[in-house]
Amino acid sequence: MIFKSKYPDIKIPQAGIYQYVTSNPNKIPDEKVIFVDGVTGRSYTFGEFKHETKKFAAGLQDKLEFKRGDVLAIFSTNQVDYPIVLFGTIAAGGKVTTANPIYETTKLSYQLIDSGASVLIVHPEVLEAAIEASIDAKIPASRVLLFGDKEIKGYKPYRSVLITDRVIEPIYYTPEEAKSTTAYLFYSSGTTGKRKGIKITHTNIVVRWAQENSMDCKLGPHSIIMPILQLCNGWGSSILHYVLILGATAIIHSNFSVETICESIQKFKINHIYTIPPIILKLVNDPSAQQFDLSSVDMIICGGAPLTQQFDLSSVDMIICGGAPLSGQSEKKFYNMFKIPISQAYGLTETGVLTKFPDTMKNTVPGSVGFLVPNVKAKILSDDCHELGYNEPGELWIHGPNNLKGYLNNKVATDAATDEDGFFNTGDIVSVDEQGYYFVVDRKKEMIRGLGDVAPSELESILLTHTAVLDAAVIGYYSEKEARELPTAYVTIKNGYKQSRALAEEIQSFVDEKVLPYKKLRGGIFFIDKIPKNANGKILRRLLKESLKNDMKKSSIFDIGRISP
């Protein structure tokens, strides 16, 4: 059965990225402030943004002989100059690859070499790793430039080298060129294996935001948006495009502390927030959040608790949460505390947002990630590749103009992920009901294969409702004796609780009483100081599985209350 969006198809924009984001459909003046640094207050108006990006593009061409199709890498925390470098490179006809600032030298080197980057723009705080990686990637020191205005160890600020008086007319793309030309090389998180370069074309990006814009009729030049997520990931950087096409204002932060979030909401009257589950859990579990009033927020898109005393958060309309699943229990707990709705969205770097709730929908369905966006078709397949129907969980395959061009230097992975009809394999187990609501069960690779398939996210959501549990992750332990995987939990406990066998038994019983026999935590419980996650909040289960091999050797499989070193 092929599922289609309940929304009518939209006209696909026939433009390159720079032409699209500067097309100004809402007729905002050049004096309109677009990007603001949430700490320093530095800002760019729409006119300044266009002027600076065109000067940056000219500097790339004049000073570094940067050519159409060349690759520039950004290795930086969030900052207000990030959009200048990103869109300036696009204006010059280049490709951009964004690297997470937490990467150590090895990971950064791999991405620079694999992407073919010839220029690297770096935040001073991560310069040491960048220097080593640039040497590995054979990028000359003269092509490693800094954010900021200070020269460090002979490395110069990009502004002193590239920003001159000359501006260029941004590279123009015909509709066919926009469809075929790669603009971004985002990299997969590597949660299940080797990181892959994801080729995203100009059309892929512009259609994604056209799809979302068709469902977000409340957003416009009046909107004050704050992305509480790293701009280096595909979702984070793509939000910058949305801000521009809307003519809205984005408050950019690198510090995501509870106090910073709440202060910014009050100061800037934020009304639309994009974030990820770890931020929601931080707000729910941080006692300091209780002193703030977040009532200004209309919606957080995740994808919390009412801050009622010190700060006025009443401007927030919506929180949109994505990047990783947020349990229905956490979503309800956040709303009960803050009275701010969370709208979960679902998508991949390879596809952009695939499902979401329209912003006119006041009451979302807890646990659901919304409706299929326009211009997208879906099919849900069983393990034996039969098409499934409503309320039948299976692997989600997606067809649409938003799908990636392919994986860089990896034809095998590209072919494996796409069928003969052009459907892309998301690797996620989902279901859809008769009303068109989609529900994400879990990653297929992460399902625990026992007497019946067990979704780790189901058990994690139950664990998180225990009063002692701060965070949790569930993985499968393969028992030779039983010839199957046994659900096994790692938990981080809250301050005030002590790791003990008695607490582990209590937590295990708490879960086991709520699930079918084959879903019980028969692998036991391990205590751990912190659940390993990537920047989007996805649990790095392969790291836990590596730890589990050692942890299981130290005690009988049915011992519980074990403490992971």
Q: What is the pLDDT of residues 384-409, one digit of tens each?
A: 889 999 999 999 999 999 999 999 99
564 band by pLDDT with thresholds 50, 70 and 90: very low
Are 419 and 397 in contact, with CB atoms under 8 Å apart? yes
Please identify which residue in the block is written with the tokens 């879906």.
378
Provide CB contacts within 8 A for 297, sequence distance 6+: 265, 270, 271, 273, 313, 314, 315, 316, 317, 318, 319, 338, 340
Torsion of CA 507, 512, 518, 519, to 10 degrees: -60
Which ranges constitute the DSSP H helices of 270-378? 277-285, 328-338
Q: What's the whole-number mean pLDDT along residues 298-317?
A: 57
Q: State the helix-helix crossing angle for 328-338 and 277-285, rounded to 10 degrees.
A: 50
At 84, is the pLDDT very low, low, confident or very high (cuts 50, 70, 90)?
very high
Which pLDDT does position 560 carry in this prediction?
Answer: 44
| Cβ atoms 348, 324 nearer than 8 A | no
**372 versus 479: which is more confidently predicted?**
372
Instruction: Name the amino acid, one letter, at 217.
Output: C
pLDDT at 561: 46
Report the range out of 236-250, 270-284, 351-365, 464-478 with the highest average pLDDT: 236-250
* 118-131 mean pLDDT: 97
Main-chain phi, psi angles of 533, to 5 degrees: -140, 160
Predicted TM-score of the model (pTM): 0.84
- pLDDT greater than 80 at residue 184: yes
Q: Which residues contact 445 (CB under 8 A, 6 or more apart)?
A: 192, 427
Segment 397-445, tens digit of pLDDT: 999 999 999 999 999 999 999 999 999 999 888 999 999 999 988 778 8
| Closest to 31 (Cα-Cα) out of 11, 48, 14 | 48
What's the average model confidence in pLDDT over 294-316?
A: 57
Q: What tens digit of pLDDT does each residue of 433-487 get? A: 999 999 988 778 888 877 777 888 889 889 989 999 999 999 888 777 777 788 9
Contacting residues for 286 by C-beta, under 8 A, at least 6 apart: 258, 305
**Structure confidence at residue 283 (pLDDT):** 81
Structural domains in the chain?
44-201 (3.40.50.980), 447-563 (3.30.300.30)
Q: How far is residue 508's CA from residue 522's CA, in Å, rounded to a whole number?
A: 9
Helices 456-463 and 501-512 cross at an angle (nearest 10°) of 120
Residue 182 CA: distances (Å) to CA of 117, 166, 170:
14, 26, 16
Query: Mean pLDDT score of the chain, rounded to an integer?
Result: 88
pLDDT for 93-119, tens place per residue? 999 999 999 899 999 999 999 999 999
